[in-house]
Amino acid sequence: MSRIVIQGGRKLEGELTIQGAKNSVLPILAATILHPGRSVLLGCPRLSDVEASIRILRHLGCQADWEDEALVVDASTLDRWDIPDHLMREMRSSVIFLGAILARMGWAELSHPGGCELGPRPIDLHLTALRQLGADLRDEGGFLRCTAQHMEGREITLSLPSVGATENAMLAACGAEGETVLLNAAREPEIADLQSFLRGMGCQVRGAGSSTICIQGRRPTHDVVHTIMPDRIAAATYLAAAAASGGQVALRRISHRHLSTVTAALHAAGCQITGGEGQLILRSEGRLRSIGTVRTAPYPGFPTDAQAILMAALLRSQGATVFVENIFENRYRHVDELCRMGADISVADRVAVVTGVTELYGAEVRCTDLRGGAALLVAGLAAQGTTGIGDVFHILRGYEDPVRDLRSLGADIRMA
Ligand code: UD1
Protein backbone atom coordinates (compact mmCIF):
# COMPACT_ATOMS: atom_id res chain seq x y z
CA MET A 1 0.00 0.00 0.00
CA SER A 2 1.47 3.24 -1.02
CA ARG A 3 -1.14 5.90 -0.35
CA ILE A 4 -2.21 7.96 2.66
CA VAL A 5 -5.62 9.64 2.84
CA ILE A 6 -6.21 12.61 5.14
CA GLN A 7 -9.44 14.37 5.99
CA GLY A 8 -7.99 17.75 6.91
CA GLY A 9 -9.09 20.59 9.14
CA ARG A 10 -8.91 18.91 12.56
CA LYS A 11 -6.94 20.38 15.44
CA LEU A 12 -4.19 18.14 16.85
CA GLU A 13 -4.20 17.36 20.56
CA GLY A 14 -2.21 14.90 22.65
CA GLU A 15 1.18 13.46 23.45
CA LEU A 16 3.71 11.67 21.30
CA THR A 17 6.99 9.92 22.04
CA ILE A 18 9.51 10.63 19.30
CA GLN A 19 11.17 7.73 17.45
CA GLY A 20 14.92 7.15 17.28
CA ALA A 21 16.79 9.17 14.66
CA LYS A 22 17.14 7.80 11.13
CA ASN A 23 20.30 9.82 10.53
CA SER A 24 21.83 8.40 13.68
CA VAL A 25 20.90 4.74 13.31
CA LEU A 26 22.16 4.39 9.71
CA PRO A 27 25.84 5.28 10.37
CA ILE A 28 25.68 3.35 13.65
CA LEU A 29 24.53 0.22 11.81
CA ALA A 30 27.53 0.63 9.50
CA ALA A 31 29.76 1.09 12.55
CA THR A 32 28.60 -2.20 14.11
CA ILE A 33 30.85 -4.09 11.70
CA LEU A 34 34.01 -2.60 13.21
CA HIS A 35 33.62 -4.94 16.20
CA PRO A 36 33.67 -8.73 15.76
CA GLY A 37 31.01 -9.09 18.44
CA ARG A 38 27.52 -7.97 19.45
CA SER A 39 25.95 -4.53 19.28
CA VAL A 40 22.52 -4.06 20.81
CA LEU A 41 20.63 -1.00 19.59
CA LEU A 42 17.68 0.29 21.59
CA GLY A 43 15.21 2.91 20.42
CA CYS A 44 15.98 1.91 16.87
CA PRO A 45 13.21 3.08 14.51
CA ARG A 46 11.63 0.49 12.18
CA LEU A 47 12.20 2.23 8.87
CA SER A 48 12.66 0.94 5.35
CA ASP A 49 16.18 2.45 5.33
CA VAL A 50 16.96 0.45 8.49
CA GLU A 51 15.71 -2.71 6.77
CA ALA A 52 17.97 -1.86 3.80
CA SER A 53 20.95 -1.59 6.20
CA ILE A 54 20.00 -4.95 7.74
CA ARG A 55 20.07 -6.52 4.26
CA ILE A 56 23.58 -5.12 3.71
CA LEU A 57 24.76 -6.43 7.10
CA ARG A 58 23.37 -9.89 6.35
CA HIS A 59 24.97 -9.89 2.91
CA LEU A 60 28.31 -9.12 4.58
CA GLY A 61 27.84 -12.22 6.74
CA CYS A 62 26.65 -10.55 9.95
CA GLN A 63 23.62 -11.62 11.92
CA ALA A 64 21.15 -8.79 12.32
CA ASP A 65 17.81 -9.47 13.98
CA TRP A 66 15.08 -7.74 15.92
CA GLU A 67 14.81 -9.13 19.45
CA ASP A 68 11.66 -7.54 20.83
CA GLU A 69 12.37 -3.81 20.69
CA ALA A 70 16.14 -4.19 20.26
CA LEU A 71 18.03 -4.56 16.99
CA VAL A 72 20.94 -6.92 17.63
CA VAL A 73 23.89 -7.14 15.25
CA ASP A 74 26.55 -9.81 15.61
CA ALA A 75 29.44 -8.96 13.31
CA SER A 76 31.74 -11.80 14.47
CA THR A 77 30.75 -13.82 11.39
CA LEU A 78 31.41 -11.03 8.86
CA ASP A 79 33.26 -12.59 5.92
CA ARG A 80 32.64 -10.38 2.89
CA TRP A 81 33.82 -6.94 1.83
CA ASP A 82 31.55 -6.26 -1.15
CA ILE A 83 28.11 -4.66 -1.43
CA PRO A 84 26.20 -5.52 -4.62
CA ASP A 85 24.75 -2.78 -6.76
CA HIS A 86 21.10 -3.53 -5.95
CA LEU A 87 21.77 -3.10 -2.20
CA MET A 88 23.82 0.06 -2.76
CA ARG A 89 20.99 1.61 -4.74
CA GLU A 90 18.39 1.05 -2.02
CA MET A 91 19.62 4.04 -0.04
CA ARG A 92 22.17 6.74 -0.41
CA SER A 93 23.76 6.30 3.02
CA SER A 94 24.96 2.79 2.11
CA VAL A 95 28.20 4.57 1.20
CA ILE A 96 28.97 4.93 4.94
CA PHE A 97 29.67 1.18 4.97
CA LEU A 98 32.79 1.91 2.89
CA GLY A 99 34.85 3.38 5.75
CA ALA A 100 33.70 0.65 8.13
CA ILE A 101 34.44 -2.25 5.73
CA LEU A 102 37.90 -0.83 5.01
CA ALA A 103 38.66 -0.47 8.72
CA ARG A 104 37.62 -4.05 9.47
CA MET A 105 38.69 -5.93 6.31
CA GLY A 106 41.36 -3.82 4.60
CA TRP A 107 39.56 -3.86 1.28
CA ALA A 108 36.10 -3.14 -0.08
CA GLU A 109 34.15 -3.35 -3.34
CA LEU A 110 30.94 -1.48 -3.90
CA SER A 111 29.17 0.56 -6.51
CA HIS A 112 28.73 4.32 -6.43
CA PRO A 113 25.48 5.26 -4.65
CA GLY A 114 24.83 7.73 -7.47
CA GLY A 115 22.46 10.67 -7.39
CA CYS A 116 19.06 10.87 -5.75
CA GLU A 117 15.86 12.86 -5.69
CA LEU A 118 17.65 15.85 -4.09
CA GLY A 119 19.95 16.25 -7.10
CA PRO A 120 23.54 15.07 -7.56
CA ARG A 121 24.99 13.62 -4.34
CA PRO A 122 28.75 13.48 -4.95
CA ILE A 123 31.02 11.41 -2.66
CA ASP A 124 34.29 13.12 -3.58
CA LEU A 125 34.83 14.33 0.00
CA HIS A 126 34.36 10.78 1.35
CA LEU A 127 36.88 9.39 -1.13
CA THR A 128 39.42 12.18 -0.56
CA ALA A 129 39.36 11.61 3.19
CA LEU A 130 39.80 7.83 2.82
CA ARG A 131 42.65 8.35 0.34
CA GLN A 132 44.36 10.67 2.81
CA LEU A 133 44.29 7.84 5.35
CA GLY A 134 46.14 5.68 2.82
CA ALA A 135 43.33 3.83 1.05
CA ASP A 136 43.80 3.10 -2.64
CA LEU A 137 40.41 3.73 -4.27
CA ARG A 138 39.75 3.08 -7.93
CA ASP A 139 36.56 4.28 -9.51
CA GLU A 140 35.95 1.96 -12.47
CA GLY A 141 32.80 3.15 -14.25
CA GLY A 142 30.84 3.76 -11.08
CA PHE A 143 32.27 0.69 -9.32
CA LEU A 144 34.68 1.34 -6.45
CA ARG A 145 37.56 -1.06 -5.76
CA CYS A 146 39.33 -0.11 -2.58
CA THR A 147 42.34 -1.51 -0.74
CA ALA A 148 43.63 -0.23 2.55
CA GLN A 149 46.00 -2.81 4.01
CA HIS A 150 47.70 -0.13 6.04
CA MET A 151 45.91 3.11 6.88
CA GLU A 152 47.69 5.76 8.90
CA GLY A 153 46.09 8.47 10.97
CA ARG A 154 46.76 12.08 9.95
CA GLU A 155 45.22 15.54 9.86
CA ILE A 156 42.37 15.78 7.35
CA THR A 157 40.55 18.99 6.49
CA LEU A 158 37.14 18.58 4.85
CA SER A 159 36.53 21.32 2.27
CA LEU A 160 32.93 21.52 3.52
CA PRO A 161 31.37 19.97 6.63
CA SER A 162 29.68 16.99 4.95
CA VAL A 163 27.80 14.78 7.41
CA GLY A 164 28.43 11.56 5.48
CA ALA A 165 32.09 12.28 4.75
CA THR A 166 32.69 13.05 8.44
CA GLU A 167 31.09 9.73 9.43
CA ASN A 168 32.94 7.72 6.78
CA ALA A 169 36.28 9.24 7.80
CA MET A 170 35.58 8.58 11.50
CA LEU A 171 34.84 4.90 10.83
CA ALA A 172 37.88 4.38 8.58
CA ALA A 173 40.11 6.21 11.08
CA CYS A 174 39.16 3.67 13.76
CA GLY A 175 41.05 1.10 11.66
CA ALA A 176 44.07 3.33 10.97
CA GLU A 177 47.29 3.36 12.95
CA GLY A 178 47.79 6.43 15.12
CA GLU A 179 45.73 9.57 15.49
CA THR A 180 43.47 11.14 12.89
CA VAL A 181 42.36 14.73 13.39
CA LEU A 182 39.33 15.72 11.28
CA LEU A 183 39.07 19.46 10.76
CA ASN A 184 35.96 21.30 9.49
CA ALA A 185 33.96 18.22 10.47
CA ALA A 186 30.16 18.35 10.42
CA ARG A 187 28.75 19.21 13.88
CA GLU A 188 25.35 17.47 13.59
CA PRO A 189 24.13 15.83 16.84
CA GLU A 190 23.90 12.48 15.02
CA ILE A 191 27.70 12.54 14.70
CA ALA A 192 27.97 12.92 18.46
CA ASP A 193 25.65 9.90 18.77
CA LEU A 194 27.96 7.91 16.47
CA GLN A 195 30.90 8.91 18.67
CA SER A 196 29.07 7.77 21.76
CA PHE A 197 28.35 4.37 20.10
CA LEU A 198 32.01 4.01 19.05
CA ARG A 199 33.20 4.86 22.54
CA GLY A 200 30.80 2.25 23.90
CA MET A 201 32.70 -0.33 21.80
CA GLY A 202 36.03 0.88 23.18
CA CYS A 203 37.13 3.12 20.28
CA GLN A 204 38.91 6.33 21.22
CA VAL A 205 37.04 9.23 19.64
CA ARG A 206 36.53 12.75 20.97
CA GLY A 207 35.35 16.10 19.76
CA ALA A 208 32.19 15.08 17.84
CA GLY A 209 29.68 17.91 17.97
CA SER A 210 32.53 20.36 17.40
CA SER A 211 34.32 20.92 14.09
CA THR A 212 37.46 19.05 15.24
CA ILE A 213 37.19 15.32 15.85
CA CYS A 214 40.16 13.22 17.04
CA ILE A 215 40.23 9.48 16.49
CA GLN A 216 42.93 7.26 17.93
CA GLY A 217 43.04 4.20 15.66
CA ARG A 218 42.16 1.22 17.79
CA ARG A 219 40.18 -1.96 17.32
CA PRO A 220 36.94 -1.96 19.30
CA THR A 221 37.26 -4.08 22.39
CA HIS A 222 33.78 -4.89 23.64
CA ASP A 223 30.13 -5.53 22.99
CA VAL A 224 27.92 -2.48 23.31
CA VAL A 225 24.35 -1.57 24.21
CA HIS A 226 23.39 1.82 22.79
CA THR A 227 20.16 3.84 22.72
CA ILE A 228 19.64 5.77 19.47
CA MET A 229 19.09 9.51 20.02
CA PRO A 230 15.64 10.97 19.28
CA ASP A 231 14.86 12.09 15.73
CA ARG A 232 14.91 15.90 15.62
CA ILE A 233 13.41 16.01 12.11
CA ALA A 234 10.50 13.71 13.02
CA ALA A 235 9.93 15.98 16.05
CA ALA A 236 10.04 19.05 13.77
CA THR A 237 7.46 17.39 11.51
CA TYR A 238 4.94 16.81 14.32
CA LEU A 239 5.51 20.33 15.68
CA ALA A 240 4.92 21.79 12.21
CA ALA A 241 1.76 19.68 11.82
CA ALA A 242 0.31 21.03 15.08
CA ALA A 243 1.43 24.57 14.21
CA ALA A 244 -0.39 24.41 10.87
CA SER A 245 -3.54 22.63 12.09
CA GLY A 246 -3.85 24.33 15.47
CA GLY A 247 -4.16 22.63 18.84
CA GLN A 248 -1.72 21.54 21.51
CA VAL A 249 0.78 18.71 21.36
CA ALA A 250 3.37 17.49 23.85
CA LEU A 251 6.39 15.72 22.43
CA ARG A 252 8.30 13.35 24.69
CA ARG A 253 11.86 12.09 24.23
CA ILE A 254 13.19 15.07 22.34
CA SER A 255 16.23 17.25 22.73
CA HIS A 256 15.13 20.88 22.93
CA ARG A 257 18.62 22.11 22.04
CA HIS A 258 18.74 20.12 18.80
CA LEU A 259 15.47 21.73 17.69
CA SER A 260 16.27 25.32 18.61
CA THR A 261 16.26 26.82 15.08
CA VAL A 262 12.98 25.08 14.24
CA THR A 263 11.24 26.08 17.47
CA ALA A 264 12.54 29.66 17.08
CA ALA A 265 10.92 29.81 13.62
CA LEU A 266 7.61 28.39 14.89
CA HIS A 267 7.67 30.78 17.84
CA ALA A 268 8.26 33.72 15.47
CA ALA A 269 5.27 32.48 13.45
CA GLY A 270 3.04 32.82 16.52
CA CYS A 271 3.16 29.41 18.27
CA GLN A 272 3.59 29.16 22.02
CA ILE A 273 6.32 26.73 22.92
CA THR A 274 7.17 25.61 26.45
CA GLY A 275 9.02 22.75 28.08
CA GLY A 276 12.59 21.80 28.69
CA GLU A 277 15.03 18.99 28.07
CA GLY A 278 13.21 15.80 27.21
CA GLN A 279 9.83 17.30 26.39
CA LEU A 280 8.26 20.16 24.52
CA ILE A 281 4.71 21.51 24.32
CA LEU A 282 3.47 23.52 21.34
CA ARG A 283 0.20 25.48 21.23
CA SER A 284 -1.06 27.03 18.04
CA GLU A 285 -4.20 28.83 16.86
CA GLY A 286 -3.56 27.33 13.43
CA ARG A 287 -3.32 30.70 11.73
CA LEU A 288 0.38 31.69 11.68
CA ARG A 289 2.22 34.82 10.55
CA SER A 290 5.10 35.04 8.11
CA ILE A 291 8.66 35.08 9.47
CA GLY A 292 12.09 36.42 8.50
CA THR A 293 14.14 34.66 5.81
CA VAL A 294 14.79 30.97 6.52
CA ARG A 295 18.26 29.96 5.30
CA THR A 296 19.26 26.32 5.50
CA ALA A 297 22.78 25.70 6.82
CA PRO A 298 24.88 22.95 8.38
CA TYR A 299 24.12 22.37 12.10
CA PRO A 300 23.64 24.42 14.25
CA GLY A 301 21.93 26.34 11.42
CA PHE A 302 18.40 25.68 10.18
CA PRO A 303 18.30 22.05 8.91
CA THR A 304 17.71 21.48 5.21
CA ASP A 305 15.64 18.45 6.24
CA ALA A 306 13.11 20.76 7.96
CA GLN A 307 12.84 23.26 5.08
CA ALA A 308 9.89 21.64 3.28
CA ILE A 309 8.18 20.88 6.59
CA LEU A 310 8.32 24.47 7.86
CA MET A 311 7.27 25.72 4.42
CA ALA A 312 4.14 23.55 4.63
CA ALA A 313 3.33 24.99 8.07
CA LEU A 314 3.48 28.54 6.70
CA LEU A 315 1.24 28.05 3.66
CA ARG A 316 -1.75 29.68 5.38
CA SER A 317 0.26 32.34 7.23
CA GLN A 318 -0.35 36.07 6.99
CA GLY A 319 2.30 37.62 4.76
CA ALA A 320 5.22 36.18 2.80
CA THR A 321 8.25 34.14 3.94
CA VAL A 322 11.45 33.69 1.93
CA PHE A 323 13.34 30.38 2.02
CA VAL A 324 16.92 30.01 0.81
CA GLU A 325 18.10 26.40 0.33
CA ASN A 326 21.88 26.35 0.70
CA ILE A 327 22.60 22.62 1.05
CA PHE A 328 20.94 20.73 -1.84
CA GLU A 329 20.31 21.93 -5.39
CA ASN A 330 17.05 20.18 -5.98
CA ARG A 331 15.13 20.54 -2.77
CA TYR A 332 11.96 22.31 -3.92
CA ARG A 333 10.35 19.41 -5.75
CA HIS A 334 7.49 19.36 -3.23
CA VAL A 335 6.50 22.89 -4.26
CA ASP A 336 4.44 21.87 -7.31
CA GLU A 337 2.56 19.35 -5.18
CA LEU A 338 1.82 21.95 -2.48
CA CYS A 339 0.59 24.34 -5.19
CA ARG A 340 -1.97 21.70 -6.25
CA MET A 341 -3.49 22.21 -2.80
CA GLY A 342 -3.83 25.96 -3.35
CA ALA A 343 -0.46 27.12 -1.98
CA ASP A 344 1.15 30.26 -3.42
CA ILE A 345 4.89 29.57 -3.78
CA SER A 346 7.31 30.92 -6.37
CA VAL A 347 10.75 29.44 -6.84
CA ALA A 348 13.80 30.93 -8.52
CA ASP A 349 16.95 28.82 -8.26
CA ARG A 350 17.67 28.34 -4.53
CA VAL A 351 15.05 30.84 -3.31
CA ALA A 352 11.39 30.11 -2.65
CA VAL A 353 8.83 32.73 -1.61
CA VAL A 354 5.74 31.49 0.22
CA THR A 355 2.83 33.91 0.26
CA GLY A 356 0.17 32.83 2.73
CA VAL A 357 -3.27 31.91 1.37
CA THR A 358 -6.57 31.93 3.26
CA GLU A 359 -7.30 28.24 2.73
CA LEU A 360 -5.65 25.08 1.41
CA TYR A 361 -7.81 22.48 -0.31
CA GLY A 362 -7.42 18.71 -0.36
CA ALA A 363 -6.01 17.29 -3.61
CA GLU A 364 -4.35 14.21 -5.10
CA VAL A 365 -0.60 14.69 -4.63
CA ARG A 366 2.58 12.58 -4.77
CA CYS A 367 5.64 12.42 -2.54
CA THR A 368 8.72 13.52 -4.44
CA ASP A 369 11.18 12.69 -1.65
CA LEU A 370 11.19 11.89 2.07
CA ARG A 371 10.86 15.38 3.59
CA GLY A 372 8.80 16.67 0.67
CA GLY A 373 6.39 13.84 1.53
CA ALA A 374 6.33 14.94 5.18
CA ALA A 375 5.46 18.45 3.98
CA LEU A 376 2.43 16.99 2.16
CA LEU A 377 1.30 15.38 5.43
CA VAL A 378 1.54 18.75 7.21
CA ALA A 379 -0.34 20.54 4.43
CA GLY A 380 -2.98 17.80 4.13
CA LEU A 381 -3.77 18.01 7.84
CA ALA A 382 -4.31 21.77 7.58
CA ALA A 383 -6.30 21.66 4.32
CA GLN A 384 -10.07 21.63 3.89
CA GLY A 385 -11.36 18.33 2.48
CA THR A 386 -9.62 15.13 1.45
CA THR A 387 -5.97 14.82 0.45
CA GLY A 388 -4.67 11.62 -1.13
CA ILE A 389 -0.88 11.26 -0.94
CA GLY A 390 0.76 8.80 -3.34
CA ASP A 391 4.24 7.21 -3.30
CA VAL A 392 4.37 7.20 0.49
CA PHE A 393 7.28 4.76 0.43
CA HIS A 394 9.41 7.94 0.45
CA ILE A 395 7.88 8.90 3.83
CA LEU A 396 8.36 5.41 5.28
CA ARG A 397 12.12 5.72 4.72
CA GLY A 398 12.22 8.13 7.63
CA TYR A 399 9.01 7.87 9.68
CA GLU A 400 8.24 4.70 11.60
CA ASP A 401 4.47 4.95 11.51
CA PRO A 402 3.21 8.47 10.73
CA VAL A 403 -0.41 7.30 10.42
CA ARG A 404 -0.36 5.77 13.93
CA ASP A 405 1.40 8.82 15.38
CA LEU A 406 -0.86 11.44 13.78
CA ARG A 407 -3.98 9.43 14.64
CA SER A 408 -2.87 9.39 18.25
CA LEU A 409 -2.96 13.20 18.04
CA GLY A 410 -6.52 13.11 16.72
CA ALA A 411 -5.89 13.40 12.98
CA ASP A 412 -8.28 11.77 10.52
CA ILE A 413 -5.66 9.85 8.52
CA ARG A 414 -5.38 6.34 7.10
CA MET A 415 -3.41 4.13 4.74
CA ALA A 416 -5.39 3.26 1.62
C1 UD1 B 1 23.01 13.91 5.60
C2 UD1 B 1 21.64 13.45 6.04
C3 UD1 B 1 20.55 14.19 5.27
C4 UD1 B 1 20.74 15.69 5.41
C5 UD1 B 1 22.16 16.09 5.03
C6 UD1 B 1 22.46 17.56 5.28
C7 UD1 B 1 21.99 11.18 6.72
C8 UD1 B 1 21.73 9.73 6.46
N9 UD1 B 1 21.52 12.03 5.81
O10 UD1 B 1 23.15 13.58 4.23
O11 UD1 B 1 19.29 13.83 5.80
O12 UD1 B 1 19.84 16.36 4.54
O13 UD1 B 1 23.11 15.32 5.80
O14 UD1 B 1 22.22 17.89 6.59
O15 UD1 B 1 22.57 11.54 7.73
N16 UD1 B 1 28.80 16.99 -0.76
C17 UD1 B 1 29.79 17.04 -1.72
N18 UD1 B 1 30.69 16.01 -1.77
C19 UD1 B 1 30.64 14.95 -0.89
C20 UD1 B 1 29.63 14.93 0.09
C21 UD1 B 1 28.71 15.96 0.14
O22 UD1 B 1 29.85 17.96 -2.52
O23 UD1 B 1 31.49 14.06 -0.98
C24 UD1 B 1 27.80 18.09 -0.69
C25 UD1 B 1 26.37 17.59 -0.97
O26 UD1 B 1 26.13 17.54 -2.36
C27 UD1 B 1 25.54 18.63 -0.27
C28 UD1 B 1 26.40 18.98 0.94
O29 UD1 B 1 27.72 18.55 0.64
O30 UD1 B 1 25.40 19.75 -1.09
C31 UD1 B 1 25.95 18.38 2.25
O32 UD1 B 1 25.85 16.97 2.10
P33 UD1 B 1 26.14 15.98 3.31
O34 UD1 B 1 26.31 16.75 4.57
O35 UD1 B 1 27.25 15.07 2.90
O36 UD1 B 1 24.79 15.17 3.37
P37 UD1 B 1 24.60 13.61 3.55
O38 UD1 B 1 25.60 13.08 4.50
O39 UD1 B 1 24.47 12.97 2.22
pLDDT at 390: 97
Q: Is the pLDDT at 121 greater than 80, yes or no?
A: no
Atom 15 of ligand 1 has which residue's CA nearest to it? Answer: 23
Of the ranges 85-89, 175-179, 223-227, which one carries the lowest mean pLDDT score? 85-89
pLDDT at 141: 81
Atom 2 of ligand 1 has which residue's CA nearest to it? Answer: 23
pLDDT at 6: 98
Q: How much distance in Å is there from the Cα of 162 to the middle of ligand 1?
A: 5
Percent of the chain with pLDDT over 90: 91
Q: Is the pLDDT at 285 greater than 70, yes or no?
A: yes
pLDDT at 231: 98
Of the pLDDT bands very low, low, confident and very high (cuts 50, 70, 90), residue 174 is very high
| 228-245 pLDDT, tens digit each | 999 999 999 999 999 999
Which residue from 150, 197, 151, 160 is spatially nearest to 182, judged by alpha carbons? 160
Q: Is the pLDDT at 329 greater than 90, yes or no?
A: no
Q: How much distance in Å is there from the Cα of 11 to the middle of ligand 1?
A: 35
Ligand 1 pocket by Cβ (under 6 Å)? 23, 26, 93, 121-126, 160, 162-165, 186, 304-305, 327-328
pLDDT at 115: 57
With a CB cutoff of 8 Å and minimum separation 6, the contacts of 67 are none
Of the pLDDT bands very low, low, confident and very high (cuts 50, 70, 90), residue 71 is very high
pLDDT at 91: 86
Q: Is the pLDDT at 391 greater than 60, yes or no?
A: yes
Q: Is the pLDDT at 120 greater than 90, yes or no?
A: no
pLDDT at 336: 97
Q: What is the pTM of this model?
A: 0.96
Q: Is the pLDDT at 191 greater than 80, yes or no?
A: yes
Atom 25 of ligand 1 has which residue's CA nearest to it? Answer: 121
| 103-117 pLDDT, tens digit each | 999 999 998 876 567
Catalytic residue of the set 44, 116, 203, 271 = 116
CB-based burial label for 131 (10 Å; 0-12, 13-18, 19+): middle
Percent of the chain with pLDDT over 70: 98
Averaged pLDDT, 298-320 = 98
State how far the alpha carbon of 300 is from the alpha carbons of 159, 189, 350, in Å. 18, 9, 20
pLDDT at 2: 82
Q: CA 259 to CA 265: how far, in whole Å? A: 10
pLDDT mean across residues, the chain: 95
Instruction: Let me know: does 134 contact 177? Beta carbons within 8 Å.
Output: no
Averaged pLDDT, 318-346 = 96
Of the ranges 134-143, 227-236, 354-363, 391-400, which one carries the lowest mean pLDDT score? 134-143
Q: Is the pLDDT at 1 greater than 60, yes or no?
A: no
Is there a catalytic annotation at residue 116? Answer: yes
Q: How much distance in Å is there from the Cα of 163 to the middle of ligand 1?
A: 6
Q: CA 321 to CA 315: how far, in whole Å? A: 9
Atom 13 of ligand 1 has which residue's CA nearest to it? Answer: 163
- Look at residue 370 and give its three-state secondary structure: helix
pLDDT, greater one: 149 or 413: 413
